[in-house]
Amino acid sequence: MRKLILVLLGFSLLVGCSSNNISKNKTTLTNQSDFVKVNESICKKYKSTNKILYGCGTASSKSFDLAKSKALLNSKVIVSDSLSNSIVKNESQTVSETDKGIKRDYNSTETGQIFETSLSQYRIVYDKTFVQNGKYRSFIVIAYSLES
């Protein structure tokens, strides 16, 4: 009985360890659940600090090169957003009185703007492409040092 328990514990440990690095073992994403798991396993490894910003980009396309190019651009946008982002908020409130009572209208719009940013010193630290539903799904992570 003890041997059976030890074998089961060993097996569950092996299964647990192998599922932690799903992005390393997979080449095909068969459903949305696979995509979410792979995306999380890749992007959670790269957390920005005070010294380095990471951008974890992903994109899909029927063209291998276009999927990689779009994922790289997505990564750059994420880093640029952290470097030079401005949020513009416009609010308006209108109050009018009619025969039927008081009418109030409230409108709020928020817009995020990324200003021109130079990212000439970034490094690609992760680059992998999967097949997903007949298309290529690329993941690219870039690192940008905040120290000169």
Which residue segments constitute the domains of the chain, with CATH numbers given? 28-85+114-145 (3.10.28.20)
Residue 7's pLDDT band (cuts 50, 70, 90): very low
Give the whole-number percent of the chain exceeding pLDDT 70.
76
- At residue 25, the pLDDT reads 64
pLDDT in tens, 91-128: 888 988 888 888 889 888 877 676 667 778 899 999 99
Distance, in Å, from the CA atom of 15 to the CA atom of 66, rounded to the nearest integer, reads 35
Q: How large is the average pLDDT for residues 14-33? A: 61
Q: How large is the average pLDDT for residues 42-66? A: 93
pTM greater than 0.75 (yes/no): no
pLDDT in tens, 81-93: 888 766 677 888 8
Residue 39's pLDDT band (cuts 50, 70, 90): confident
C-alpha triplet 60, 63, 64: angle, nearest 5° = 80
Distance, in Å, from the CA atom of 4 to the CA atom of 33, rounded to the nearest integer, reads 33
C-alpha triplet 34, 66, 71: angle, nearest 5° = 55
